Structure 1
């Protein structure tokens, strides 16, 4: 086993990691873009980027592009971890860095929508090369992701009671990993891609009339192909990275 250091919030660190991996001569059959931060205080990284968008999306965007040569060689599957946080917000295309006012949950929602849209566009670009991409909602899991939240916030959100007991419906880490593993390996998904998955299945569209609408299904804005293409171009402009060819899209 080899371990390389990488800071997803630092584009130079991401590129260094990718270069070291490519030099290692290893193949790559599965890439799971799992790491994230959530609802953090306003933080700026790199050239002033909002940290959740920069870490959760742009870091993985650059990593996947830089690793494109081995993804193609392996006919890889790329799993992009999103969440029901995508239901909070679409992409703030006019101000993705929240320069005119920061809201930690809007920023998190934008980043999770970006994770889903990234899978849509990567799959569109990669399918003819044998590379398929999937967005995965792992479920609610109590991990270090909540490090920026107080107990009072989590109680108010209904995630746990006043005694600290986590509400029914949250998953263990093993249960939370299940859909990522399924998306990365299941033959059921052969020939498919660009879909949003939850509970080891392709998710249904959100039913706005359902009492579970906030927690189940995928909102249309998170799988919209036009938004996915627009986000890709924005991400390429910001990072200066765009290794995955766009051979299937017609140009005017």
Structure 2
């Protein structure tokens, strides 16, 4: 892991995904963007494809994906349901069989503050989808990520990770009362810890990983929230218009996708990895910032990251490389 401190990025909270790819040439490279046909994922797909990458977008709803991505060149839609292990495995098998190196993987798909639900194995749905689904994806794609020689895996976390750490004693809310925000915070912390341990395992093989907070953007991610909950984020002004104020973390989708694209493409991040980012910059630890900025200590704890990784291997039966050897 590199040190958790700013690197002097020339971009900011108001930068857009298109702006951070100016001068970046991705021709000949292949990227995968989960959630690439919804919300911030669309703008991530648009920016990477616009820079010349061939972008594969896994989709549970192909019709919606085709409609949303119409007019964007260099995009290929493939079937995959992140919450279904068999579907993830089938997608991975197709990609690996094709033999193409994957230079960029942006894990942007996710769910937020959902009512209690469980996957087929009984795992709480936010943890299962946001973390375990992406763990399965990365483990399966490992050979083609390594093949790229200089790959980046981007884990879209959230400032919501500050709600709390991973509760290793009761991840699936078997004994504690279910709280949708505690579950969301745990899943977003897992996203950051995932990037931390993945980078430790992959750095020597040319696979670097980053996690990030994209900003507050009203997208389909908020579909499970009540009107009062949405209003609590102060996303609307007194006239009912959506606020755009990057300094207060209220961003457009194009601005919200910028940090993902920045982490995935910028050369100034060469040799760096395992860090949590925000506003197109490496974030400070929360103890060194004011208010809600920065990364909480439990989301950059290497021991917790390794513990989560080992548990994820047990829960999925999958591993990266010769990790289990």
TM above 0.5, yes or no, is yes
Cα deviation for residue 162 of structure 1 reads: 6.6
Q: Residue 210 of structure 2 aligns to a residue in which SS?
A: strand
- Decide whether the 8 Å contact of 1:71 with 1:131 is kept in 2: yes
Query: Residue 3 of structure 1 is aligned with which of 60, 77, 85?
Result: 77
Query: Residue 209 of structure 2 is aligned with which of 133, 136, 147?
Result: 133
Q: Measure the CA separation in 1 of the matches of 2:194 and 2:308.
A: 8
2:174 is matched with 99
Q: Measure the CA separation in 2 of the matches of 1:116 and 1:209.
A: 18
Q: Measure the CA separation in 1 of the matches of 2:126 and 2:142.
A: 23
Q: 1:80-108: CA deviations, max 9, x gaps? A: 00010000010010011111221100000
- Decide whether the 8 Å contact of 1:9 with 1:46 is kept in 2: no
Q: Measure the CA separation in 1 of the matches of 2:110 and 2:120.
A: 17
Name which of structure 1's ranges 161-170 and 11-20 shifts more when overlaid on structure 2.
161-170
Query: Residue 232 of structure 1 is aligned with which of 286, 298, 309?
Result: 309
Cα deviation for residue 209 of structure 1 reads: 7.1
Structure 1 runs of 4+ with >3 Å offset? 156-169, 244-247
Tell me if 1:74 matches 2:148.
yes
Query: Residue 85 of structure 1 is aligned with which of 134, 140, 160?
Result: 160
Tell me if 1:183 matches 2:263.
yes
Q: Measure the CA separation in 1 of the matches of 2:265 and 2:321.
A: 22
1:152 is matched with 228
- Decide whether the 8 Å contact of 2:218 with 2:235 is kept in 1: no
Q: Measure the CA separation in 2 of the matches of 1:136 and 1:107.
A: 18
Q: Residue 78 of structure 2 aligns to a residue in which SS?
A: coil
Tell me if 1:109 matches 2:181.
no
Cα deviation for residue 33 of structure 1 reads: 0.5
Q: Measure the CA separation in 2 of the matches of 1:171 and 1:245.
A: 41
Q: Measure the CA separation in 1 of the matches of 2:95 and 2:199.
A: 22
- Decide whether the 8 Å contact of 1:126 with 1:244 is kept in 2: no
Query: Residue 29 of structure 1 is aligned with which of 97, 103, 106?
Result: 103
Cα deviation for residue 156 of structure 1 reads: 3.2
Cα deviation for residue 12 of structure 1 reads: 1.1
- Decide whether the 8 Å contact of 2:99 with 2:144 is kept in 1: no
Q: Name stretches of at least 5 consecutive residues in structure 1 with no aligned partner.
A: 248-252
Q: Measure the CA separation in 1 of the matches of 2:82 and 2:132.
A: 8
Q: Residue 9 of structure 1 aligns to a residue in which SS?
A: coil
Q: Measure the CA separation in 2 of the matches of 1:40 and 1:200.
A: 28
Q: Measure the CA separation in 2 of the matches of 1:2 and 1:239.
A: 27
Cα deviation for residue 164 of structure 1 reads: 3.6
Cα deviation for residue 161 of structure 1 reads: 5.1
Tell me if 1:119 matches 2:119.
no
2:5 is matched with none
Q: Measure the CA separation in 2 of the matches of 1:47 and 1:246.
A: 24
What's the Cα RMSD here?
A: 1.7
Q: TM-score w.r.t. structure 2 length?
A: 0.72
Q: Measure the CA separation in 1 of the matches of 2:227 and 2:241.
A: 11
Q: Residue 137 of structure 2 aligns to a residue in which SS?
A: helix
Tell me if 1:172 matches 2:252.
yes
Q: 1:104-156: CA deviations, max 9, x gaps? A: 00000000000000000000000111110001111111111000001111123
Q: Measure the CA separation in 1 of the matches of 2:154 and 2:274.
A: 10
1:242 is matched with 319
1:193 is matched with 273
